[in-house]
Amino acid sequence: MNKIIIRDEIFDLFPDFYRGIVIVKDMANQKSNKRIKRLLKKKIDSQVEINESEDSRILAWDEAYRKMGVNPKNYMPSIKYLIQAIKPNRSLAFINSAVALFNYTSIKYVTPCGGDDITRIEGNLVLGIAKGTETFIPLGGGTKENPGLGEVIYYDDLSKNVMCRRFNWRNGDITKIEVESKKAVLNIDSLPPVSPDICSKACYELAELIRLYCEADVETMHLDYNTREACIP
């Protein structure tokens, strides 16, 4: 049985880190959905005025990157990138229903969200520190590369495929969620000032949205300082 694992060294760096998780099965994903588009547009309109250079929820991730030895100006945390992306046209590209729904959740709660197609993962899903020998293909394709030694990565511990580099900076292509995806693991990450209670609320809401709009079976769980691994049912 596959597990989701957060290594001890992550909590050495970030003892208050909390990850909400939604396990998705039998998902009916769609390339387009008018109801989700309206939901997403309404949320974008309500959040577009957020100042990413002043909002404490975003600044917390800037500081986390610095703590990892990463310059957030060169490698932007995903939530900062997302808030910047919605500003020019008050819109966001609609990839598919599941991706749109975790983007909606990320924008609403101003905290990083992401997900992976679990059928493309061979081993355990691990958030840990890179040895530098793992492999990564950026979302959208491109040249295979290696993460830097000591980099925080989310990876498959059997294939050594990296699903996300620099905590949440850039997703990988191999495990991306597509219209054909039926099973997925969705993550919602938080650091103070986003509390575990708020992250849990976001997690339950995302699970309900996926159940409603993707007609999926869903289950929620979390990982934190006291619970560092969980089996995928």
The predicted-structure confidence for 157-182, as pLDDT tens digits, reads as follows 999 999 999 999 999 999 999 999 99
pLDDT band of residue 61 (cuts 50, 70, 90) is: very high
What is the mean pLDDT of the segment spanning 7-35? 98
Q: What is the mean pLDDT of the chain?
A: 97
Given this model, what pLDDT does residue 142 score? 85
Range of the domain at 197: 3-231
Is pLDDT above 80 for 51?
A: yes
d(CA 171, CA 168): 7
The predicted-structure confidence for 173-224, as pLDDT tens digits, reads as follows 999 999 999 999 999 999 999 999 999 999 999 999 999 999 999 999 999 9
**CATH code where residue 144 lies:** 3.50.40.10
Q: What is the pTM of this model?
A: 0.96
The predicted-structure confidence for 117-130, as pLDDT tens digits, reads as follows 999 999 999 999 99
Is pLDDT above 90 for 92?
A: yes
Q: Give SS3 for 168.
A: coil
Query: What strands lie across the sheet with 162-165, from one edge to the other?
Result: 170-171, 162-165, 152-156, 125-129, 3-6, 229-231
Q: How many domains does the chain have?
A: 1
